[in-house]
């Protein structure tokens, strides 16, 4: 197994960090690696916010479901899907562009997520751990305020980075679903009840499928934070819903 493939297998979310900074040179390499990601039409439909202000990190703890490790992470990046900069450039050039729509946003989110994952892979190559924070999509009013987000800019991905503690390095990576359930040949295949039970069986351990699935549904899918994320994303979408 080559080093890149091994790093992809080894990488897991890290939420506890050693108290030491990430050298500026490494940070710049990680940011440049993000910018080298594939991009639709080479437009780079994202803007990366490098969060260096400790007060802002502390606010992000609160707006991202009170996760204290955000405040202590040596590097925090917010990757914004940015449909504004090209629209502004078109206007600057005297074009008559239509307003950005949901298709433009989806393309920008794709660009943004690919760039973020490049940063994760680059960081892993240095031994730097990372964790995705999906909660950046919640509390849109507060995120807009503290990050100064204008129209047509959506905070799609947040990442925190740091040197993993020994316990984090030794922690077992969560198991993934068997590939036969994840990879469908040529066309989508809806799975029946038996296959769904087989796919998630490793999660249930000593519990029944019904017990585990109900608990997970209540804890994640039906949670207050999931409902808030749906509400917030809906608010962001309103600016892209043009006739």
Would you call 235 helix, strand, or coil by DSSP? Answer: helix
Instruction: Give the H/E segment covering residue 168.
Output: helix 166-170
Given a contact cutoff of 8 angstroms between Cβ atoms, the answer to whether 44 and 112 are in contact is: no
pLDDT of residue 145: 97
What would the pLDDT profile of 15-52 be if each residue is shown by its tens digit? 999 999 999 999 999 999 999 999 999 999 999 999 99
Q: Report the candidate in 114, 126, 104, 117 with the shortest Cα–Cα distance to residue 38.
A: 114
Output the domain CATH number for residue 134.
3.40.109.10
First to last CA, the chain: 51
Neighbours of 145 (CB within 10 A): 12
What pLDDT is stored for residue 243 in this prediction?
A: 58
Residue span of the structural domain in which 28 resides: 3-173
Flag whether 232 is in a domain. no
- Does residue 8 form part of some domain? yes
Torsion, Cα 119 57 60 239, to 10 degrees, reads -60
> 144 pLDDT exceeds 70?
yes
The answer to whether position 142 is within a domain reads yes
pLDDT band at 193 (very low <50, low <70, confident <90, very high): very high
Is 15 contained in some domain? yes
Beta bridge partners of 75: 161
What average pLDDT score do residues 132-156 get?
98
Place of tokens 């608990």: 215
pTM score, two decimals?
Answer: 0.95
Per the CB < 8 A criterion, the answer to whether 67 and 61 are in contact is: yes
* pLDDT confidence of residue 242: 73
179 belongs to a structural domain: no
Flag whether 201 is in a domain.
no
Query: Is 151 within the bounds of a domain?
Result: yes
**Average predicted confidence (pLDDT) for the chain:** 96
Instruction: Give, to the nearest 10 degrees, the angle between helix 102-125 and helix 3-10.
Output: 110
In which band, very low, low, confident or very high, does the pLDDT at 1 lie, cut at 50, 70 and 90? confident
**Would residue 52 count as lying in a domain?**
yes
**Total structural domains within the chain:** 1
């Amino acid at each position: 197994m080559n080093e890149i493939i091994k790093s992809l297998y080894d990488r897991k979310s890290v939420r506890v960090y050693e108290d030491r900074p990430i050298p500026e040179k490494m940070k710049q390499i990680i940011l440049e690696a993000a910018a080298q990601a594939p991009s639709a039409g080479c437009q780079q439909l994202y803007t990366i916010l490098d969060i260096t202000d400790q007060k802002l990190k502390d606010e992000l703890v609160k707006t991202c479901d009170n996760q204290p490790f955000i405040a202590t992470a040596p590097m925090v990046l917010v990757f914004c899907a940015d449909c504004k900069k090209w629209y502004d450039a078109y206007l600057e050039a005297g074009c008559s562009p239509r307003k950005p729509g949901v298709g433009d946003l989806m393309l920008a989110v794709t660009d943004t997520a690919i760039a973020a994952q490049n940063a994760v892979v680059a960081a892993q190559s240095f031994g730097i751990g990372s964790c995705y924070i999906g909660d950046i999509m919640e509390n849109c009013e507060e995120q807009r305020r503290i990050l100064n987000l204008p129209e047509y800019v959506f905070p799609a991905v947040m990442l925190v980075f740091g040197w993993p503690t020994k316990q984090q390095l030794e922690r077992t990576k969560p198991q993934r679903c068997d590939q036969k359930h994840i990879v469908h040949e040529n066309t989508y295949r809806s799975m029946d009840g038996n296959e769904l039970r087989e796919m998630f069986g490793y999660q249930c351990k000593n519990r029944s499928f019904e017990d585990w699935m109900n608990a997970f549904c209540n804890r994640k899918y039906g949670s207050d934070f999931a409902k808030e994320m749906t509400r917030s994303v809906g608010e962001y979408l309103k600016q892209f819903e043009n006739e």
